[in-house]
Amino acid sequence: METTLNTPIDPKTEKQERIFQGTPVSGGVAHGFVRHVGGSFEPPSMRRIVMAKVDEELARFHQAVESTREELEKLMQGLDEDLDRHTHEILEMHVMVLEDSFVREQVENFVREGLECAESAYYRVVKNCMDSFNRMPDAYLRERALDIKDVALRVLKHLRGDDGLYDDGGASAVCIAHDLTPSETVQLDRNRVLGFAVELGSRTSHTAIVARALGLPAVVRLHGIVEALEHGDEVLLDGNEGILVLNPTADTLERYKALAAAAEAKEAKLLAGGTGPAKTTDGNRVLVGANVEFVEELPLIAECGAEGVGLFRTEFLYLEDPHASEEKLTALYSKVAAEVAPQQVIFRTLDVGGDKLVEYERELEQNPFLGWRGIRVSLALPEAFKKQLRAILRASCHGNVGIMYPMISGVAEVIEANRLLAECREELVQQGVNVCSKVQIGAMIEVPGAAAIADLLTPHVDFFSIGTNDLVQYTLAVDRVNERVSELYQQTHPGVLRLIKMVVDAAHRAKIWVGICGEMAGDVSLTPLLVGLGLDELSASSPQVAAVKHAIRKLSSKDCQGLVEKALQEGDALAIHKLAQAMAVEKYPELFPAAMVEAATGKD
């Protein structure tokens, strides 16, 4: 969405200030000039070849692949082994994509049988692969189509003899792209990158991950910016509010300078008070943990005041190295457990779709949203599942470890997973391997059916962790990354809140604890609802932890329970959100923008 600000034309540039609204994925503010980066992915011109030229055309294709491999290997050699480990693993995955035999054989077939030029054949094959990933239900996996695109751009570049896709010349700039891939980001001189603004993407995209790792602001879903902005345009990128300002006026720049100073002061104050437990004003303790994807994030745990890791997403490590040995997994999990100790780290077992695990060996599911996912994949591939379970058990002697199973829909799944876990434990004991005598076992509640039978699941687990991201979309039949129905994705829908309460009540009757690890846990405008619902633990991203703890300390459990009683009788999700937000703004106004506080209090 684009609007024109009611500000005067800058007399220096005689250009009017314009603002583009997108989705913030990495906080901070950057001011600089535009640099367009990334390559286009348009179908190449179709060119037929004669039979006598087939071998020559295939040799050209193979040479392009080999040149791409050399290019990726050169990139990896230039990285710092410690500082750039994640980037190195991304590029290793790109080499695996490049060497995929399915793609190579399909291209060779199109060239030999269809007498199609290498560019066109290669584009057709990789485009089909990308489309398959784009149809997957998991947002992170959909973004993996970018990895395929990244490699394809390089191969096509060599086939076309074009070496200009990755030019990184110039001074410091805000990088603008339609869709920025990982190694395009790597190619840029980090010392001259101020931030990222792209037309596509999500919070789980590589752009978001790399930006957060680099501490740079990033905004995605900024529709129309590639066409609207030119090289050298002056822009201001607000990664907190998801805004890009073209031709910012002196007044706008001054206003943002003041906002930046205030934000830094507020963040420093929150972090300073982030240590210690989070208790409500009437003494109710709520544990606040962090969600973690990569080993490199661990130093942030102590800095932000997190009380352990409420969700370690093991699929991120899997996607970096699908064929990692048990020894490698054990080393990684042990490192995590040791660094978080004595606090607990909860490892979620693999939560990806089956298409990623068994590439190209199964037909595309007609409805992947309701298909082979999470625990279903693990139970269908018991040896792979047991490898991961054994690695987690072996890591348990290095810290306080928990395990939770994703996408549980029935009791039988938990019983079978626990049986395999017990089998792994027995095997390790017989081998003389040390494992902790007690590892907490949990079930993720993401499916409405699981919430409805929470009382039947309690005898088989030590805790529940509610994954609100999926619970909301499954309850309301809304894809949370589909912009067409995004307004229907309502975390405060009464149906969602009633399911959460059902799970909390069942857990507490069975005397087990229950937490939330979805995005809802980090939204301080909803903290009053979560406290009132009786959640024992909230697990959010590291940058959100200090604010969530601050919010809890300002609330009364009794007041929050009263809020929930009122909310559960309300039929409108927006009205419920307003109730929660009103209490939040009243109790901790310092966490909200001044305009929101003024609107809530009626001040002009």
Residue 442 has pLDDT above 90, yes or no: yes
Q: Are residues 374 and 502 in the same domain?
A: yes
373 is in an annotated binding site: no
Q: Are residues 203 and 315 in the same domain?
A: no
Give the residue among 96, 29, 542 at the shortest CA–CA distance from 319: 96
Query: What does the alpha-carbon distance between residue 205 and residue 375 come to, in Å, rounded to a whole number?
Result: 24
Residue 206 known to be catalytic? yes
Check residue 138 and give its pLDDT.
64
313 is in an annotated binding site: yes
14 is in an annotated binding site: no
Check: CB of residue 248 under 8 Å from CB of residue 235.
yes
Percentage of the residues of the chain whose pLDDT score is greater than 70: 83
Can you give the C-alpha Rg of the chain in angstroms?
A: 25
Confidence of residue 355 (pLDDT cuts 50, 70, 90): very low
Q: Are residues 196 and 132 in the same domain?
A: no
Check residue 96 and give its pLDDT.
84
Render pLDDT for 562-589 as a digit per residue (tens, 0 to 9).
999 999 999 999 999 999 999 999 999 9
Residue 227: exposure state from Cβ atoms within 10 A (0-12, 13-18, ≥19): exposed
More reliable by pLDDT, 541 or 37: 541
Q: Are residues 583 and 461 in the same domain?
A: yes
469 is in an annotated binding site: yes
Give the residue among 435, 412, 411 at the shortest CA–CA distance from 422: 435
348 is in an annotated binding site: yes
Q: Are residues 299 and 247 in the same domain?
A: no
CATH number assigned to the domain comprising residue 23: 3.50.30.10
Domain holding 60, by residue range, is 51-160
Token pair belonging to 212: 């957060």
Q: How many domains does the chain have?
A: 3
Residue 11 belongs to some domain of the structure: no
Q: Among 11-25, 277-291, 579-593, whose mean pLDDT is lowest?
A: 11-25
CATH number assigned to the domain comprising residue 304: 3.20.20.60
Q: Are residues 385 and 246 in the same domain?
A: no
Check residue 209 and give its pLDDT.
59
Give the residue among 98, 464, 92, 545 at the shortest CA–CA distance from 302: 545
Residue 7 has pLDDT above 60, yes or no: no
Check residue 230 and give its pLDDT.
79
Tell me which of 86, 88, 206, 550 is the catalytic residue. Answer: 206
Q: Are residues 150 and 219 in the same domain?
A: no
Residue 129 known to be catalytic? no
Q: Residue 165: CA atoms inside 13 Å, Cβ hemisphere, count?
A: 21
CATH number assigned to the domain comprising residue 95: 1.10.274.10
More reliable by pLDDT, 49 or 345: 345
Residue 277 belongs to some domain of the structure: no
18 is in an annotated binding site: no
Render pLDDT for 103-129 as a digit per residue (tens, 0 to 9).
889 999 999 998 999 988 998 888 888
Residue 26 has pLDDT above 70, yes or no: yes
